[in-house]
């Protein structure tokens, strides 16, 4: 099925879900219940990308603080579930790796529907995963909180604004609590240590002969799109300089998708003792690696948000056209790439040039200057 037909299919499914909801409201009659008492069982939906999910963690922290007696379950995906396992106020993390409106995911969606029905939830907060509002089981939960900008907003009983997709972050998602009269809380999330993941990470590092007492520098030049990538051709020089200047052990990290990109063979890369751990770590192990690293160098991506959330100093590599997340955490030292042609021809969400000239413009020397501020402390 073509991309155009898929888009049309999903639009029709969303419209149908909204139409059925409006009919069901008329059949049930009466006004939606108001939020008058503390919920007994709350469902928090966070089914987005890794970086966006990290930025939603303060919502979970605030829910635990404001609703200490409430049983909280999290609906996530299997990739990101490790983010939520360190929270004492979470009783269950359910993983859903599909899309509610997809025919291919119908069996998986049926299992999700059954789980929600058995849950007995009296409140749902949609932080990420707006399409979940199309499920009748979600619509039957008395209190439904989500972003007023989403397509299925009429299904919600309480709404908050996330503004433009370009700028939304932690503060905007904390609106889910503010619209109910609670305090928003801290906008800098924190991920607690997980001993199980730390143990498996220790074993992998030991197997590679990595001394954890040394200076570990984790490098993530990738991103969810290629326009977020820092040039792999510069990796060799960066690793070589980190070793010679600081005696560092450079560790190149990335998910399974990052393994399809070849690290450019160069004299610098061949002569440096870097560790390639792309595709070799679970998200839980990645979290613990970033926690024990002395420095993280990362594009504007999930690992950058994680490293800041575990308290590790991070050199963040940003396009000057997308600086919105660069100042959200005081652990991030931002470095901006700039290009005049990009400024004149590229939109904020798309790059006219491939590879992105703004990311190409960030030099190894600039990164090393920022790294020195951290490693020489």
pLDDT digits (tens, 9 = 90+) for 241-294: 999 999 999 999 999 999 888 876 555 555 567 899 999 999 999 999 999 999
189, part of any domain:
no
Q: How far apart are CA 175 and CA 161, in angstroms?
A: 7
- Regarding whether 362 and 227 lie in a shared domain, the answer is yes
What pLDDT does 30 receive?
43
Q: Which of 178, 204, 220 is the last residue of a domain?
A: 178
- Regarding whether 95 and 221 lie in a shared domain, the answer is no
172, part of any domain:
yes
User: Which residues, including other chains, have CB under 8 Å from residue 144's CB and lie 6 or more apart?
Assistant: 123, 124, 126, 133, 138, 155, 156, 157, 158
What pLDDT does 171 receive?
80
Rounded to whole angstroms, what are the CA distances from 127 to 60, 150, 199, 269?
Answer: 10, 11, 31, 41
Percent of the chain beyond pLDDT 70? 85
Task: Give the least confident one: 91-100, 152-161, 271-280.
Answer: 271-280
What pLDDT does 26 receive?
42
What pLDDT does 1 receive?
46
Summarize pLDDT for 59-72 with one digit per residue, the tens: 998 888 888 889 99
User: Which residues, including other chains, have CB under 8 Å from residue 362's CB and lie 6 or more apart?
Assistant: 230, 317, 335, 336, 337
Predicted confidence band of residue 327 (pLDDT cuts 50, 70, 90): confident
What pLDDT does 347 receive?
74
End-to-end CA separation in angstroms for the chain = 56
188, part of any domain:
no
User: Domain holding 124: CATH number?
Assistant: 3.40.50.2000
190, part of any domain:
no
191, part of any domain:
no
Q: What is the total count of domains within the chain?
A: 2
Q: Is 209 left (phi over 0), alpha (psi -120 to 50) or beta?
A: left
Q: How far is CA 84 from the centre of its chain?
A: 12
Summarize pLDDT for 17-36 with one digit per residue, the tens: 554 444 454 434 344 555 55
Predicted confidence band of residue 134 (pLDDT cuts 50, 70, 90): confident
Ordered strands of the 41-46 beta sheet:
90-95, 71-76, 41-46, 123-128, 143-147, 158-160
Q: How many CB atoms lie within 10 A of CB 4?
A: 8
Question: Which residues span the domain enclosing 33?
Answer: 3-178
CA nearest neighbour of 44 among 13, 15, 80 = 80
Q: Is 311 left (phi over 0), alpha (psi -120 to 50) or beta?
A: left
186, part of any domain:
no
3-state class (DSSP) for residue 106: helix
Quick one: angle between helices 283-292 and 195-207, nearest 10? 80
Task: Give the least confident one: 87-101, 121-135, 137-151, 324-338.
Answer: 324-338
More confident residue, 169 or 360: 360
More confident residue, 236 or 188: 236
- Regarding whether 216 and 158 lie in a shared domain, the answer is no
- Regarding whether 151 and 87 lie in a shared domain, the answer is yes
92, part of any domain:
yes
Q: How far apart are CA 377 and CA 373, in angstroms?
A: 7
Average pLDDT value over all residues in the chain: 84
């Amino acid at each position: 099925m073509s991309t155009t037909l898929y888009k049309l299919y999903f639009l029709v499914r969303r419209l149908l879900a909204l139409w059925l909801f409006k009919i069901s409201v008329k059949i049930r009659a009466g006004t939606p219940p108001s939020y008058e008492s503390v919920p007994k069982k709350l469902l928090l939906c966070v089914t987005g990308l890794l970086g966006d999910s990290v930025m939603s963690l303060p919502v979970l922290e605030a829910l635990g603080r404001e609703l200490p007696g409430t049983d909280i379950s999290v609906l996530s995906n299997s990739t990101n579930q490790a983010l939520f396992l360190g929270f004492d106020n979470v009783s269950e993390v359910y993983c859903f790796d599909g899309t509610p409106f997809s025919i291919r995911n119908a069996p998986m969606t049926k299992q999700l529907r059954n789980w929600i029905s058995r849950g007995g939830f009296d409140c749902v907060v949609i932080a990420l995963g707006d399409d979940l509002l199309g499920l009748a089981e979600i619509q039957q939960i008395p209190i439904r909180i989500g972003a007023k900008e989403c397509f299925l907003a009429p299904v919600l009983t309480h709404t908050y604004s996330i503004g433009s997709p370009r700028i939304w972050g932690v503060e905007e998602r904390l609106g889910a609590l503010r619209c109910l009269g609670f305090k928003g809380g801290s906008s800098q999330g924190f991920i607690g240590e997980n001993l199980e993941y730390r143990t498996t990470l220790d074993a992998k590092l030991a197997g590679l002969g990595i001394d954890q007492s040394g200076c570990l520098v984790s490098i993530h030049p990738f991103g969810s799109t290629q326009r977020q990538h820092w040039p792999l051709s510069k990796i060799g020089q960066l690793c070589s300089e980190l070793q010679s200047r600081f005696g560092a052990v450079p560790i190149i990290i990335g998910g399974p998708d990052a393994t399809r990109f070849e690290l450019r063979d160069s004299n610098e890369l061949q002569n440096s003792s870097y560790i390639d751990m792309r595709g070799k770590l679970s998200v839980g192990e990645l979290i613990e690696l970033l926690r024990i690293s002395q420095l993280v160098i990362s594009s504007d991506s999930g690992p950058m948000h994680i490293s800041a959330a575990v308290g590790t100093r991070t050199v963040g590599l940003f396009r000057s056209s997308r600086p919105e997340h660069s100042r959200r955490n005081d652990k991030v030292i931002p470095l901006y790439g700039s290009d005049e042609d990009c400024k004149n021809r590229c939109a904020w969400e798309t790059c006219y040039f491939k590879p992105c000239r703004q990311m190409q413009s960030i030099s190894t020397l600039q990164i090393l200057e920022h790294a020195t501020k951290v490693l020489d402390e």
